[in-house]
Amino acid sequence: MPLTMVKTGEPSVIRKVGGKEETRRFLENLGFVAGGIVTVVSEIGGNMIVNVKDSRVASGKDMAIKIMVD
């Protein structure tokens, strides 16, 4: 399921990062890599703040929907 469907505070495992090559590379540089753990800290109006690799990252809905998690 996409990251946008994860409940706040629930850790999830990243399975796949989709989108164009440039988008995937950008997200991977932020720490969104397959097998990594991501936790949603908050969500306001579709925009999300997530913990990934001991960092907080803000993501718009358009980016978050490209990150598939379990």
What is the per-residue pLDDT across 5-50, written as a single tens digit (0 to 9) for each? 999 999 999 999 999 999 999 999 999 999 999 999 999 988 999 9
Residue 68 burial (10 A CB sphere; 0-12, 13-18, 19+): middle
pTM: 0.90
Distance CA 20, CA 42 (A): 26
Give all strands (DSSP E) within 1-70, no chain letters: 11-17, 37-44, 47-52, 55-59, 67-69
In the numeric block, the tokens 């809905």 are attached to 61
Task: State CA 49 to chain mean position distance.
Answer: 9
Class of domain 3-69: mainly beta
